[in-house]
Chains A and B, each alone.
Chain A
Amino acid sequence: MSTPARRRLMRDLKVDPPDGVSASPLTDNVMIWNAIIIGPADTPFEDGTFRLSINFDEQYPNKPPQVKFLSTMFHPNVYASGELCLDILQNRWSPTFDVASILTSVQSLLNDPNISSPANVEAANLYKDHTSQYAKRVRETVEKSWADDLMDNEDDDEMEE
């Protein structure tokens, strides 16, 4: 069924995401998108393949979608659940945002955390005072993100059989 939210998402589909980001809706449900953000170069996140889910409801674009990391993250603004604390996804949301602009913001959040309201206090403290330890913990999640990809590929193989 076509609704305003679905029609808008079909238009979002035509906007190319920024470099290092890819996103697509589920084949049978345009309200749920999966995305991958590649960790930006020259940051501890470099080359990570971080997976996210984006869940829209019928109020989109007047209400923001729920954005959640599926990959394990070590970042001051990402909760253990994968949910993230990002102003434009909460009180600074605007209906002019789209999938591409959401993912651009999440991508830039990776290396530009907001320390004043941490979702992960340990990550925030290491980021502030122990940069090399912070980088090490982040690198662990980068390597883990590659393993997630391998698991996905195995799933695909099973489906083909």
Chain B
Amino acid sequence: MLVDILEWNGVATWSWDVPSEEVCGICRVSFDATCSNCKIPGDQCPLVVGECTHRFHMHCIVKWLEIETSKNLCPMCRRSFKAVHGEKQLGGSQVLSYIESFNFEG
């Protein structure tokens, strides 16, 4: 029997490459769920890893770093928070501008 495929739908899932029981230290919600400001998990609510290896929902760490009293310190180890993004390393206000450069409209 010859079948003509007229249409097919591919479906895939993904999750962050972190232990499933690990939660964001700021909002205490799983990385595969959203930060406490977002409603839909996924690309629009990513996580950010610091040079110090501590990770947070991007929105959570940005909210913290925006506050003057944070002194740009990692909430976990109090080292200066520098986000690692692929090969690029960003620090201080660069983290913010990098994050602002995100196109949330997709």
Contacts and interface: CB of A to CB of B under 8 A. Distances in A.
A62 B67 contact: yes
Interface string B46-81: 000000000000001001100101100001101000
A4 interface: yes
A3 B52 CA distance: 30
B96 interface: no
Contacts of A11: 27-29
A63 B28 contact: no
B25 interface: yes
A8 interface: yes
A8 B67 contact: no
Contacts of B63: 62
Task: Kindly state the interface size class of chain A when it binds its partner.
Answer: 10 to 19
Interface in A56-113: 59, 61-63, 91, 93-96, 98
Which of B25, B27, B36, B75 has the most CB atoms of chain A within a 10 A radius of its CB? B36
B64 A62 contact: yes
Chain A interface main SS type: loop
Task: Kindly state the interface size class of chain B when it binds its partner.
Answer: 10 to 19
Nearest to A94: B75
Contact of B25 (A62, A63, A96): A96
A94 B74 CA distance: 9
Nearest to A6: B36
Contacts of A94: 75-76, 78
Interface string B5-38: 0000000000000000000011111000001110
A158 B70 CA distance: 46
Contacts, number: 39
Contacts of B67: 59, 62-63
Contacts of A98: 28
Contacts of A95: 25-26, 60, 64, 75
Contacts of B29: 7, 11
Nearest to B37: A4
B36 A4 contact: yes
Given A62-B64, A91-B69, A96 B26 contact: yes
Given A4-B36, A7-B36, A8-B28, 19 more contacts: A4-B37, A8-B36, A11-B28, A12-B28, A61-B26, A62-B26, A62-B63, A62-B64, A62-B67, A62-B70, A91-B69, A93-B69, A94-B78, A95-B25, A95-B26, A95-B60, A95-B75, A96-B25, A98-B28
Interface of A: 4, 7-8, 11-12, 59, 61-63, 91, 93-96, 98
